[in-house]
Amino acid sequence: MLISTEDLRNNLADRKLACTLAAVAGALNTAAFEVVGFFSANMTGNVSSLSDHLAKASLAPGIFFLSVICIFIAGSAFSALLINAGRRRKMRTVYAVNIILEGGGLVLLGMVESWMNPASPGVLLILCLSFLMGLQNAVVTRISNARVRTTHVSGTSTDIGIELAMLFDVLRRKESPKDAPIYLERLGLHAFTLLSFLAGGVAGIWLFHLLGYGFLIFIGTGVILLALHNMRHKHQAE
């Protein structure tokens, strides 16, 4: 799911990608909300908060939200640059390498938060997670050709509504029945993404209460193992 791209990619690979990384994003977002009261990857909410603070001339909070937005964009740009470099070198594992970097960042963040007692742990958590969620979102977008998003579900919820409407029109014979399998396939992908994000969010809260910041190490290690498994599977296939 982190290797095959473009014409080699199928719906099963996209579904595995969506379910796995949406659960990761859901866990990290809800845990961040538990700590500081807002989400690291919700750029819609963060831009709205920035607007609110700018309108009220609240400079310090406004700068913070602007920083979160810029760091998310920086994470996406960093990921895209790595992917571009890997694609130029015909490196099909570049997406998995990016996910390994994300996992390593989570492990490092968990160690810092757990053992080094930073002065502003909530601020560090949000800024780092924003970068890593930007990185993850760029990986998922590029490898799936924008069919999958995992760090937020506004677009996914919209897509569910669209596919339901298309299926309704098929039932009314307003759309061709031969296209129904395509709509069902897309609906399944988006529904699984939403449900995985939801399940990951629930698990993220449980893990945070159980492990504290150690949950970042746990998730980061899992992400690294997932990427390494995909790379090993690719080499075996060759």
Q: Express each pLDDT in 167-176 by its tens digit.
A: 999 998 888 8
Q: Identify the weakest region by mean pLDDT among 45-54, 120-129, 172-181, 228-237.
A: 228-237
What average pLDDT does the segment 52-79 reach? 92
Distance from C-alpha of 223 to C-alpha of 27, rounded to nearest angstrom: 12
pLDDT of 100 reads 96
Contact by Cβ (8 Å): 41, 137: yes
pLDDT of 6 reads 58
pLDDT of 150 reads 84
- Retrieve residue 9's tokens: 């990619």
Of the spans 6-10, 58-62, 146-150, which averages the highest pLDDT?
Answer: 58-62
| 121 residue type, one letter | P
Q: Give residue-wise pLDDT tens across range 80-106.
A: 999 999 989 988 889 999 999 999 999
Contact by Cβ (8 Å): 97, 227: yes
Q: What is the pTM for the complete model shown?
A: 0.90
> Taken in order 12, 145, 101, 96, is the CA torsion positive or negative?
positive
Between the alpha carbon of residue 35 and those of residues 124, 135, 189, the distances in Å are: 11, 22, 31
CA within 13 Å, CB half, 152: 17
- Judge residue 192's burial from the number of C-beta atoms within 10 Å of its C-beta, 0-12 exposed, 13-18 middle, 19 or more buried: middle
Phi, psi of 173 (to 5 degrees): 65, 25
Collapsed DSSP state (helix, strand, coil) of residue 194: helix
Count each helix (H run) and each strand (E run) in the chain, helices first: 8, 0
Helix ranges restricted to H, 116-213? 121-143, 154-171, 180-211
DSSP 120: S
Q: Give residue-wise pLDDT tens across range 138-153.
A: 999 888 888 888 888 8
